[in-house]
Structure 1
Amino acid sequence: MGIGQTCESRASALLLGVLLSGSAFAEPAPVLFDWFEYTGRDAAFEQPLPEGHYRNPILAGFYPDPSIVRVEDRYYLVNSSFGYFPGIPIFESRDLVHWTQLGHVIDRPEQLDVDGLRISRGIFAPAIEHHDGTFYLVTTAVDAGGNFVVTATDPAGSWSNPHWLPEVDGIDPSLFFDDDGSAWLLNNGAPEGTPRYDGHRAIWLQRFDPAALRTVGPRRVLVDGGADPATNPIWIEGPHLYKRDGWYLLTSAEGGTGPQHSQVVLRSRDIQGPYEAYAHNPILTQRDLPADRPAPITNAGHADLVEAPDGRWWAVFLASRPYVGNHYNTGRETFLLPVEWRDGWPTILDRGQAIPYAAPAPAAMPAAAAQAPLAGNFTWRDDFDGPALDPLWTFVRVPKTPWADLAAQPGQLAVRPLRDGLDSLHSPAFLARRQQHLAFEASTALAVPTEVGVSAGLALFQGERHWLFLGARRAGQGAQLFLERHDGDARDIVATAAIAADAPLTLKVVADGAHYAFAYKDGDDWRWLARDVDGHLLSTESAGGFVGATLGPHARLDPEPAE
């Protein structure tokens, strides 16, 4: 067994322990969900995969800001999680293509609390390193304490509580361990003096004490503005340092996280500079490609590089797959491409080249080697029959009350409805799974709530002001199915239907780009409740922020009517 390899995610067990702590559930009675199933049907993934190739993205759905480290023959990768809990998913791979989730770095409520924050605040851009048997992870908790570092000897956990770095402002810290024994912290921060323009930022460097877990000594600006300051580049961020052939290579993202996103590189013989920019920057972007190209991949940047045992280098980076314009509901995803070295400079992709959906793999592998459930088309089902929740499930912020139970009714998920709904800035009773495909189908089976004032069903969530809820509730002597929509300042009921109060209920959503349809099962037949519902509200472009859409079981106590 390799580092972090376990039969079951320790993080999931810890999480379930958190949710099941305390006394038995009080009234109202929990809603029982029998199963949940998700199927992806993206056209871009339908083409047969040639032998020895892999599919991009390697982590489909809301897995942004990847950071990677290799330890012997294993790779470990982490992503931003913003306001979701557990936070910072961590994955392991032997070949850079097939990934297994070990758990989460932030899996205990005492590590971090993002209660009261918008979903796109919280954890930004974690960066992982390994040195002398210890894993180090630095990140920023935006509006929740600032920059901190956590450590572990096993990447599957448990990770330490945060060691806060109050002297480090800005975002996107990363660590670099030099071969002379010194350690350094880089981060994005405000420039020296008065910013010259909106988006003017700088990359800072400072020594780091790995024993005391704090920075020491003076700070120094390595990059002011960006690779070409004369052009007033915006949002230089996500810095990483590497050392190769005596050169210190500094790579960072530029241009913001939208369609102008890019990756640039600079180098120096001295870690403290001065740094020279590569004449052929950017080394990765998609901003110069035709907007009307088929199956576009956009927003590429925020890369981290890693050297494989055979001496080849690879880059993981974020990008998005819009279905129209810059609308994408799947968030910013993790992609993989090889790095080519030219005169000591790394290049990920030449200008004008499109990111491929399939590419030659780092190691020989058969065409049948599936990357599911993290890439490609697949069906994923949870029958809720395990002792702990699958690590693919997450929560909106940290639950303050134990509302999810796998033990009360073995083989079912018991969800206690809460007063906090999807529009709350607290933690609703919503079990969230990432939407990973532009075209997908998801379904779940549940019992109609037994009490008046309780709604339960299937929710699709982009943020507290942008969501859809296909729910069931008691109505008179029977029951009602409804589709509720919250789109910015507007909130309405799209459609309703009378349903049997005591029969099992199966719900389904079918989506293709911005077109969403909602159905329920009546006996053996499916009936459509609403078709051609506009799904643009679930896009990051419409909602703002940095997350992708999630979906899953949800139960709530309905808002009390105004007097």
Structure 2
Amino acid sequence: MIKGNIFFLLAAALLCSYTGTAQKKMQSKKTAVFSNVVYNGDDQIYKNNPLKPDEFYTPILQGCYPDPAITKKGDDYYMVCSSFAMFPGVPIFHSKDLVNWTDLGGVLNNVSEFNPHDTGISAGVYAPGITYNPHNDTFYMIVTAFSGGLGNIIVKTKDPMKGWGSPIKLDFGGIDPSIFFDENGKGYIVHNDAPDKGKELYEGHRVIKVWEYDLTTDKVIPGTDKIIVDGGVDLSKKPIWIEAPHLYKKNGKYYLMCAEGGTGGNHSEVIFTSDSPKGPFKPASNNPILTQRYFPKDRANKVDWAGHADLIQGPDNKYYGVFLAIRPNEKDRVNIGRETFILPVDWSGEFPVFENGLVPMQPKLKMPAGVTNQTGKNGFFPNGNFTFTENFTSQKLDYRWIGLRGPRENFSSVSKKGLEITPFEVNIKEMKPTSTLFYRQQHNTFSFTASVDYKLQSEKDLAGIVCLQNERFNYVFGITKKGNDTFIILERTEKGQSKIIASSKIKITNTLRLQVKAAGDNYEFSYAVNGVDFENLGGTVSGDILSTNAAGGFTGALVGLYATSANDAHP
């Protein structure tokens, strides 16, 4: 016992010494200081479609906020989305009226419990469900986590405003889980899964399973699993990727709503009904109830890929559906990513149907009666065209700023000078947490401008802006050293292969301003050594590598404030 105590004390002393040394090293490192950041969205569709006093825009969440799920308690609505390897995981929003939303940050914000540090950007965590259970006054968020061996997990809270409990692992496979509580208090989980072994009929053949859920142990009950949909609406037509299931109950009947067709051009939403939550489920005769797949590919102001939906009763007791869709650019490339849209839903008949969800979608909707549109004001999340100005004067960093594969607090802090980033010895092209503060690209036409101050010490140092679709497809635009000289460089990385597009020796005479501007597929990078007069570097370059068309994956493009001490881009 005494030996054990001595060993413990020695270990503690060594740990303190190591921690002190590490902190000194951290403090002695030079920081890159970013200030006066301005993001300006300027899409033509919003100029052509100004709002009337009783209207609001859809998407309600622009940028990479896919796979929405929604619930309510009283007149409080809570909505969650996928976040993949972005951190914190599972962004959550609050509203009183389905129009004006407040950003509450991320549900999974403890890196010791959710740590996507070694995953590709499209792994991490995705397709959440959120459900309020009135029987025990508890909110449940359930999701699939592709990191740290977590798998399907559930977290709980009495109040989403005050944070969430620790993840509880659930003992089943598959993806896209959601939880449903019946009027008698019983719990059920539905999710996408592979067919039983040896019964897969074609590529993309999936099934929907249901489990009974024990609320006292927070576990699925072994042996209660059952396949309730095999393949989709019509197995003879070989439907692919039946997924994102949600259970509802209305007028004594159970309804199962799912996405079908894959999250691309054939995406749709379909619905089934049953007398029991365990089936058998019969598809509606009028499926799909939401899709954009039937229209000309070259239509103007195209919204596409609509599906992966969830339903809720609005403040006017009318039903609404939130779902993902995309707004591609003029070359049909998806740079912004999959966004959260909303439509009213007509459920006056047996089955719900998304109003105007089976015709080309429009950017404006009528608000629920009595609602005032405050988006972009009074702390509410903006949509349409807007300008976001960040001077980093607030002690609390806006939740729109996110980390990748780890917490933003691990490398950034706010000071009187602005945002200070302590560079990691990690390059943006590595599958590790990077010292980059990211903002989602939310428009096809936008500009993003920032001031940067960094005392470069060697060619390993770089600070600037990064436009990123993933670790293998990105642009880096910033300053580095070559000998005693300072250079500004623009680097393009495609399929993991990097190329310097342009570089120029510069002498910074005042605050260095960096800017990226996009007009659809055309991106331009400019700098001002005196803080005012911008010069273009590299001409007009293609945003192709910032699209999922080229890069693959499930995310949208991010724009980041980037600093590294592992730079490999040399003029």
Fold match by TM threshold 0.5? yes
Q: Which residue of 1 is the match for residue 34 of structure 2?
A: 33
Inter-partner Cα distance in structure 2 for 1:368 and 1:485: 39
AA of the residue aligned to 1:447? D
Inter-partner Cα distance in structure 2 for 1:369 and 1:27: 43
Inter-partner Cα distance in structure 2 for 1:36 and 1:485: 23
AA of the residue aligned to 1:422? I
1:23 to 1:336, Cα distance in 2 relative to 1, 3 A:
farther
CA deviation profile, 1:248-268 (whole Å, cap 9, x unmatched): 010000011111100000001
Greater CA drift, 361-370 or 503-512: 361-370
Inter-partner Cα distance in structure 2 for 1:57 and 1:469: 29
AA of the residue aligned to 1:534? S
Q: Which residue of 1 is the match for residue 413 of structure 2?
A: 405
Matches within 5 A, 1:53-202: 53-131=55-133, 132-144=136-148, 145-165=150-170, 167-193=171-197, 194-202=199-207
Structure 1 stretches of 4+ with a deviation exceeding 6 A read none
1:199 to 1:287, Cα distance in 2 relative to 1, 3 A:
same
AA of the residue aligned to 1:360? K
TM-score normalised per structure 1 = 0.92
Give the CA deviation at 1:490. Answer: 2.5
Inter-partner Cα distance in structure 2 for 1:369 and 1:156: 20
Inter-partner Cα distance in structure 1 for 2:552 and 2:183: 42
Q: Which residue of 2 is the match for residue 254 of structure 1?
A: 260
Inter-partner Cα distance in structure 1 for 2:520 and 2:312: 34
AA of the residue aligned to 2:76? R
CA deviation profile, 1:328-378 (whole Å, cap 9, x unmatched): 111100000001125310001467501220011123345776577431100
AA of the residue aligned to 2:290? L
Q: Which residue of 1 is the match for residue 52 of structure 2?
A: 50
- The answer to whether the 8 A contact 2:254-2:275 is kept is yes
Q: Which residue of 2 is the match for residue 527 of structure 1?
A: 535
Inter-partner Cα distance in structure 1 for 2:365 and 2:569: 56
Matches within 5 A, 1:305-344: 305-324=311-330, 326-344=332-350
2:472 to 451, 465, 478: 465
Question: Does the residue aligned with 1:471 lie in a helix, a strand or coil?
Answer: strand
1:30 to 1:335, Cα distance in 2 relative to 1, 3 A:
same
CA deviation profile, 1:116-148 (whole Å, cap 9, x unmatched): 111100111010011132110000012542100
- The answer to whether the 8 A contact 2:154-2:168 is kept is yes
Q: Which residue of 2 is the match for residue 484 of structure 1?
A: 491
Q: Which residue of 2 is the match for residue 392 of structure 1?
A: 400
Question: Does the residue aligned with 1:141 lie in a helix, a strand or coil?
Answer: strand
CA deviation profile, 1:478-514 (whole Å, cap 9, x unmatched): 3111111111143111111121146320000110111
1:475 to 1:438, Cα distance in 2 relative to 1, 3 A:
same
CA deviation profile, 1:146-205 (whole Å, cap 9, x unmatched): 10000112213321111001x210000000000011010111011124200001111000
Inter-partner Cα distance in structure 1 for 2:569 and 2:526: 28
2:388 to 380, 384, 389: 380
Inter-partner Cα distance in structure 2 for 1:38 and 1:547: 19
Inter-partner Cα distance in structure 2 for 1:331 and 1:255: 18
Structure 1 residue ranges without an equivalent (≥5): 1-20
1:127 to 1:222, Cα distance in 2 relative to 1, 3 A:
same
1:366 to 1:127, Cα distance in 2 relative to 1, 3 A:
closer
Greater CA drift, 445-454 or 258-267: 445-454
Q: Which residue of 1 is the match for residue 562 of structure 2?
A: 554
CA deviation profile, 1:217-242 (whole Å, cap 9, x unmatched): 41011100001111110000000001
Question: Equivalent pairs: percent with the same residue?
Answer: 36
- The answer to whether the 8 A contact 2:97-2:315 is kept is no
- The answer to whether the 8 A contact 1:448-1:505 is kept is no
> How large is the Cα RMSD of the aligned pairs?
2.0
1:308 to 1:373, Cα distance in 2 relative to 1, 3 A:
closer
Matches within 5 A, 1:223-234: 223-234=229-240
AA of the residue aligned to 1:125? A
Q: Which residue of 1 is the match for residue 18 of structure 2?
A: none
Inter-partner Cα distance in structure 2 for 1:77 and 1:351: 20
Question: Does the residue aligned with 1:547 lie in a helix, a strand or coil?
Answer: coil
Question: Does the residue aligned with 1:82 lie in a helix, a strand or coil?
Answer: coil
1:287 to 1:219, Cα distance in 2 relative to 1, 3 A:
same
2:549 to 518, 541, 546: 541
AA of the residue aligned to 1:412? G
AA of the residue aligned to 2:117? D
Q: How many residues align?
A: 539
Give the CA deviation at 1:306. Answer: 0.3
Does residue 496 of structure 1 match 2:503?
yes
- The answer to whether the 8 A contact 2:55-2:373 is kept is yes
Question: Does the residue aligned with 1:195 lie in a helix, a strand or coil?
Answer: coil
Greater CA drift, 24-33 or 461-470: 24-33
Inter-partner Cα distance in structure 2 for 1:260 and 1:369: 32
Question: Does the residue aligned with 1:446 lie in a helix, a strand or coil?
Answer: strand
AA of the residue aligned to 1:455? L
- The answer to whether the 8 A contact 2:473-2:496 is kept is no
AA of the residue aligned to 2:361? I
Inter-partner Cα distance in structure 2 for 1:352 and 1:391: 34
Q: Which residue of 2 is the match for residue 4 of structure 1?
A: none
Inter-partner Cα distance in structure 1 for 2:524 and 2:161: 38
Inter-partner Cα distance in structure 2 for 1:476 and 1:503: 21
Greater CA drift, 353-362 or 76-85: 353-362
Question: Does the residue aligned with 1:433 lie in a helix, a strand or coil?
Answer: strand
Q: Which residue of 1 is the match for residue 432 of structure 2?
A: 426
Question: Does the residue aligned with 1:156 lie in a helix, a strand or coil?
Answer: helix
Inter-partner Cα distance in structure 1 for 2:168 and 2:374: 44
CA deviation profile, 1:268-310 (whole Å, cap 9, x unmatched): 1111111110111000000001111101001100000001243
TM-score normalised per structure 2 = 0.91
1:499 to 1:547, Cα distance in 2 relative to 1, 3 A:
same
Inter-partner Cα distance in structure 2 for 1:93 and 1:540: 30
- The answer to whether the 8 A contact 1:449-1:456 is kept is no
Give the CA deviation at 1:325. Answer: 5.1
Inter-partner Cα distance in structure 2 for 1:231 and 1:374: 42
1:399 to 1:245, Cα distance in 2 relative to 1, 3 A:
closer
1:23 to 1:375, Cα distance in 2 relative to 1, 3 A:
farther
- The answer to whether the 8 A contact 1:478-1:501 is kept is no
AA of the residue aligned to 1:548? G
Inter-partner Cα distance in structure 2 for 1:157 and 1:326: 41
AA of the residue aligned to 1:464? E
Inter-partner Cα distance in structure 2 for 1:54 and 1:333: 16
1:477 to 1:350, Cα distance in 2 relative to 1, 3 A:
closer
Inter-partner Cα distance in structure 1 for 2:538 and 2:28: 32
Greater CA drift, 305-314 or 395-404: 395-404
- The answer to whether the 8 A contact 2:471-2:496 is kept is no
2:276 to 270, 274, 277: 270
AA of the residue aligned to 1:32? V
AA of the residue aligned to 1:155? P
1:23 to 1:355, Cα distance in 2 relative to 1, 3 A:
farther
AA of the residue aligned to 2:483? G
Greater CA drift, 76-85 or 320-329: 320-329
Q: Which residue of 1 is the match for residue 3 of structure 2?
A: none
